[in-house]
């Protein structure tokens, strides 16, 4: 009998949610970075396995330190993912439990949705027995259906053991999407995310949070994909940092992005990048809406 369901991947920033999603799907769908708050929107990815279809929802990391409109939106998206799904994968770092995790637990209390606690980054533990006290402590936090230690980066227990759990907890039902369906992301969104990833992985700690990408033009034929995009920063002082000496930073970002876009779409890519300033855009409701973030959708 067929199985189908929606699965939310939730947790605080930088615990490896997007890395895990990419491992499960066996393709890069969500951009990754060591910088916190890399994921800004809900990323949907479909996994088809024999007679089962699981729809994963990767979410922004829950965080409490920022109060700007963009940060509030990201938290709303994450909290919304705790509702109307069939299974929740709650990802935590092996040795870090704080205010963000407590906030998620508070939202989960009273919910009838099964929750699997996934302890990530166990590759940093030499002796597995050292993990036992952590597991016992986390058992007291919530009535988790199961607790599974993994290393999403090093592939320990992920995704093999998670496959078995997912299959077990998904309800019976017919697939909602065609077998070749992968995601509902638009090509423009996916390309803008690739550019943003290449930028944030080359910049310092502050600048990644203040950049946004808009695809100004996209033309495609059988052999060529032509893209014109603008990278926006929220301060004049950030523009020369992004440009780099003699434009070296922008060249590096553009080259890396072009190579990955070519790989994804298997055709030659012409990529033109510009840099502009949009002051305090992370606190500008209208501008954030223009970027494709649906503020009203996740208000409740």
Q: Give binding residues for GTP as ranges.
A: 11-18, 58-62, 120-123
Nearest of 89, 90, 4 to residue 46 by alpha carbon: 4
Could you give the C-alpha distances from 68 to 174, 188, 281, in angstroms and in order? Answer: 41, 25, 10
Numbered residues of the known binding site = 11-18, 58-62, 120-123
Query: Is the backbone peptide bond immediately before 159 cis, with ω within 30 degrees of 0?
Result: yes
Q: How many residues does the chain have?
A: 300
Compute the radius of gyration of the chain from its Cα atoms: 20
- Using H for helix, E for strand and C for coil, what is the string for 112-177? CCCEEEEEECHHHCCCHHHHHHHHHHHHCCCCCCEEEECECCCCECCCHHHHHHHHHHCCECCCCC
In this structure, are residues 52 and 40 in contact, taking their beta carbons and an 8 Å threshold?
Answer: no
Nearest of 20, 286, 260, 32 to residue 162 by alpha carbon: 20
């Amino acid at each position: 009998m067929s199985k189908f369901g929606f699965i939310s991947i939730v947790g605080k920033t930088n615990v490896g949610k997007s890395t895990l999603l990419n491992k499960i799907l066996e393709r890069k769908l969500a951009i990754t970075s060591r910088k916190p708050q890399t994921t800004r929107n809900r990323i949907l990815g479909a996994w088809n396995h024999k007679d089962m279809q699981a729809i994963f929802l990767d979410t922004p990391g829950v965080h409490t330190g920022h109060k700007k409109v963009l940060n509030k939106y990201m938290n709303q998206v994450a909290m919304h993912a705790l509702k109307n799904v069939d299974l929740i994968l709650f990802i935590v770092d092996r040795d870090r439990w704080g205010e963000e995790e407590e906030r998620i637990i508070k939202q989960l209390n009273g919910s009838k949705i099964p929750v699997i606690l996934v302890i990530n980054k166990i590759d940093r533990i030499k002796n597995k027995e050292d993990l036992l006290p952590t597991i016992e402590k986390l058992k007291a936090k919530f009535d988790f259906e199961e607790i599974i230690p993994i290393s999403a980066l090093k592939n320990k227990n992920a995704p093999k053991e998670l496959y078995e759990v997912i299959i077990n907890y998904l309800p019976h039902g017919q697939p909602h999407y065609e077998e070749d369906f992968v995601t509902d992301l638009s090509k423009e969104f996916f390309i803008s995310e690739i550019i943003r990833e290449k930028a944030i992985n080359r910049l310092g700690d502050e600048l990644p949070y203040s950049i946004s990408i808009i695809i100004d033009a996209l033309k495609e034929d059988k052999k060529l994909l032509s893209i014109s995009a603008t990278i926006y920063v929220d301060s004049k002082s950030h523009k020369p940092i992004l440009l780099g000496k003699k434009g070296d930073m922008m060249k590096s970002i553009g080259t890396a992005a072009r190579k990955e876009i070519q790989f994804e779409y298997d055709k030659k890519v012409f990529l033109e990048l510009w840099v502009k300033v949009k002051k305090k855009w992370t606190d500008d409701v209208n501008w954030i809406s223009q970027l494709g973030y649906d503020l009203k959708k996740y208000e409740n």
